[in-house]
Amino acid sequence: MIQEPVPTLLERVLQRAVRDHAAAEGRRRLPPALHVGIPGGAVRSFELVPGEVLDLALRIELVEAMCRDPLARDVVPLLWLTRGPDGPDVEDLAWAAAAGCAGPELGVRLDLVVVTRRSWLDPRSGVGRRWTRLRH
């Protein structure tokens, strides 16, 4: 769970995730996706099918599988969901719970944030940032 004050390096990494998502999405709306890695670096993505129900056990397995490669390289990855500008979703908390369960099983602390074209938010703590105009 991300708490205030957010470390400067983490804040820059999360801002990079927002910029990358805004550039990728452009004017069309991309399907929601789970990303694991470091924004701007090696990233693995899993496209989420709207309406498809995944239970907690399957979400945990997906998170663990996606995290194994970075962890094998001694990199603790960041997890982020990308989606449209809609408000908080129950899916956000479901994926945050999966990250919270997978982390201890993998022996690390995993943070998950929700990224839109203009913001990032930790759904567990409510900490986040929003921009009206994102500068590069």
Question: Does any domain span residue 3?
Answer: no
Cα angle 59-89-60, degrees, rounded to a multiple of 5:
10
Question: Does any domain span residue 126?
Answer: yes
Kindly compute the dihedral angle of the four CA atoms of residues 63, 55, 29, 1, in this order, to the nearest 10 degrees: -50
Across the range 95-120, mean pLDDT stands at 95
CATH number at 116 reads 3.40.140
Cα angle 111-134-14, degrees, rounded to a multiple of 5:
15
Work out how many domains the chain is built from and give that number. 1
pTM: 0.90
CA distance 93 to 22: 22
Is residue 86's pLDDT more than 70? no
Residue 63: give the domain boundaries. Answer: 8-130
The confidence score (pLDDT) of residue 12 equals 94
Question: Does any domain span residue 105?
Answer: yes
The confidence score (pLDDT) of residue 135 equals 66
The confidence score (pLDDT) of residue 133 equals 76
Percent of the chain with pLDDT over 70: 93
Q: Which residue has the higher pLDDT, 109 or 90?
A: 109
Instruction: Report whether 123 contacts 92 (CB < 8 A).
Output: yes
